[in-house]
Structure 1
Amino acid sequence: MTNTTNNQKQLVLVTGGSGFIAVHIILQLLQQGYAVRTTVRSLKRIDNIKEDLQNSGIKNFDDLSFVEADLSSDKNWDMATDGATYVIHVASPTPKLNFKNPDEMIRPAVDGLLRVYRAARDAGVKRVVLTSAYGAVFAGHKNRQTPYTEEDWSNLDAKNIHPYQISKTMSEKAAWKFIEEEGNGMEMAAVNPVGVMGPVLSAKYSHSNVQIQQMLEGKIKSLPNVDSGYVDVRDVASLHILAMTSPKAAGQRFLATTGETLSMMDVANILRNAFPKYADNLPTKTIPNFVVKIAAKFNPNLRMIATIVGGYAETSDKKATTMLGWTHRSAKEAIIATAQSMIDLGIVK
């Protein structure tokens, strides 16, 4: 079996094609002349994906194909990986905010990943690039004073660590273990993005940027004291493709970060300056940390925020920029692009 399609283009499987990061990866792969196959949980999502890509200038879909496959089932993963040179594994189970048992988040993440990796290995895939997360790097570290790097792993023994961060850490660790013990020479690289911003491609957008919409609409009156890195989705996509093609990237993790750290109030202030028309809607108050922690006991939506308020969040972009020659926009540019796209598409009411 050769790892090319009929027109001799290298085939890349991108899992979870309707996601925010995945669509941008598919877009750049098509622009660079790859054939792309993507998985969707339901074939009803195909039109949404095509709409996103058309909005970005893709006119011809001859090099794009779809397979219905779900991380919770073995069905069709052999078909999805068949003939692929590379797999970019972006799909992950939707995080449950109101879980009763942490295993509800952790098990599906690990099991789904191993399903994809087994199918990729059996199909003779050369390299898998895993979309991991900053959550697999920073959580559970106390009194940190130096920027987080790819050498860091979340501390799963820490008391106050959210199951979402545990699921991201355990699934990435399971991936590396699989490569080492059962990979049969298949290569791997991981990309660990901080908060992903950047242009939303259609009104059926991912929920990763819902906080920007809510701020602009005046739905958020005050903000928790949470620092974060932010990175543009277009740069996250380009880093995945560098991690896929660069010989140096095999066996490596890469933080997708600009190396800047912003508070949520910094984000609000960037929006205030860039979009004066919405200035009166934007929050000006910060919620004390202890208030967030108490509120989280009663509101499951605040549980993850409560574990990171007041926490250290500096990161380094050095490895990706020096090893792979990756370049990125500023965090400010990414945040403005998110808001501008939402305004242009009529998402902000």
Structure 2
Amino acid sequence: MAEVLVTGGSGYLGSWCTLALLTAGFSVRTTVRDLAREPQVRAQLLIGGVDAGESLRVVRADLQDDAGWREAVAGCEAVLHVASPTLTRVPRTDDEMVRPAIDGTLRVLRAARKAGVRRVVMTSAIGAIAYGHAPRDTPFTEQDWTNVDADIAPYQRSKTLAERAAWDFVAGEGRGLELSTVNPTGVLGPVLSADYSPSLIAIARMLDGSMPALLPFATGYVDVRDVAALHLLAMTEPAAAGERFIATAGPSLWLRDVAAVLRDRLGERAAKVPTREMPLWAARALSRVNPQVRSLRAALGRDLDATAERAERLLGWKPRPIEDTIAETGESLLALAK
């Protein structure tokens, strides 16, 4: 079976993409910044139900360094570019997040082109689609792009500019390299370790009582297993070449709706989940001093609804009900906290 490279194999989505590939019979090569993390990668896969054995190779490559990428991608038929550069602190300027995101993406694409890779599937985000727009009554689609000239957070700007750079590279220098992107909304689902996505952190804070009130914003949510499945479809289906795919499990939910599902499905175990929604004026004031809330300032008071109609129509993708995912997320986080 063909070998596929997954960048960022120790991360939340990277682990689930690796699990999906191994389960489908592919051999997987995955990158980490430090080879000391290989035991962690294999342990996460084991929790997910797969003993990878020799079907998995872990290699060292850093998105901010040229070293290792030629070897990482050599002989691979496809690449799932899931990894994103991370900062351990709030960036002083947007460029501290934007430049590494663009450079890392182009580094992977250049290596893939030189190695003769057939297709790269890049993990983008709803942050490259739904931000910086005037309020609207219709869902966002893949035709939309975030307005990087608006007052948006560095994360959304970096995702947008990195994805645009990827499409520009393939159009101008790809030489036959195919590209698809997957743009997930808030990613939830079972956890394999304490490496949480921002959406998972929000659920964890609801459950442990450290979130005193719910922020007023609405967005879509999707199960991490369904996002991984969409990556595989985008990698294998001929119709996916040259396409963007929003990954969302249905209409958007306000954070108060997510909290209500947790309380309904988990009962007493969700006793600390807040019931009060923060007034919009207070949330906007908080966004000026709190780095986590600041990253959401463009979404406050907004409904960022989006549709996955394209993935469902072109690829036959069918996400599971998001209420089940929210409940499983809570169950998984509570089990990990024990």
* TM-score, length basis structure 1: 0.94
Aligned to 1:58: 50
| Matched length | 337
> CA deviation digits over 1:160-189, x for unaligned, max 9?
211111100000000000000011100000
Residue 302 (1) aligns with residue 293 (2):
yes
Partner residue, 1:143: 135
Q: Which residue of 1 aligns with 2:64?
A: 72
Give the deviation of 1:97 after TM superposition.
Answer: 5.5
Structure 1 residues 96 and 309: alpha-carbon distance in aligned structure 2, compared to 1, 3 A threshold? farther
CA–CA distance in structure 2, aligned partners of residues 243 and 19 of structure 1: 20
Q: For the structure 1 residues 95 and 265, does the alpha-carbon distance in structure 2 shift closer, same or farther, using more than 3 Å as the test?
A: farther
Residue among 273, 281, 285 paired with 2:276: 285
Q: What residue is the counterpart of 1:28 in the other structure?
A: 20
Task: Name the SS of the counterpart of 1:260 in structure 2.
Answer: coil
Q: Structure 2 CA distance, aligned partners of 1:329 and 1:91? A: 24
2:190 corresponds to which letter in structure 1?
P
Task: Map 1:1-349 onto structure 2 (within 5 A).
Answer: 9-95=1-87, 98-158=90-150, 160-202=151-193, 204-208=194-198, 209-345=200-336, 347=337
- Unaligned runs of at least 5 residues, structure 2: none
Counterpart-to-counterpart distance in 2, 1:259 and 1:134:
14
> Distance in 2 between the 1:180 and 1:57 partners?
39
Task: Report the Cα distance in structure 1 between the residues aligned to 2:121 and 2:326, rounded to whole angstroms.
Answer: 26
Matched AA of 1:234: R
In the alignment, structure 1 segments of 5+ residues that lack a partner are 1-8
Mapped to 1, the partners of 2:303 and 2:316 lie a distance apart of 27
The AA in structure 1 aligned to 2:312 is T
**TM-score for the superposition, normalised by structure 2:** 0.97
Q: Is the 8 A contact 2:42 2:51 kept in 1?
A: no
**CA pair 279-26 structure 1, distance change in 2 beyond 3 A:** closer
Letter in 1 for 2:328: A
Alpha-carbon displacement from aligned partner over 1:19-69 (angstroms, at most 9, x marks no partner): 111101100100111010000011121111111111122124111001111
Q: Which moves more between the two structures, 191-200 or 301-310?
A: 301-310
- Tell me how far apart the structure 2 counterparts of residues 129 and 314 of structure 1 sit (CA, whole Å): 24
Counterpart amino acid of 2:250? G
After TM superposition, what 4+ stretches of structure 1 lie above 4 angstroms from structure 2? Answer: none
Q: What per-residue deviation string (whole Å, max 9, x for no partner) do you get for residues 129-172 of structure 1?
A: 000000000010012121000111001122x2111111000000
Over aligned residues, Cα RMSD in angstroms? 1.2
Asked if 2 retains the 8 angstrom alpha-carbon contact of 1:141 and 1:155, the reply is: yes
Q: What is the deviation of 1:95? A: 4.8
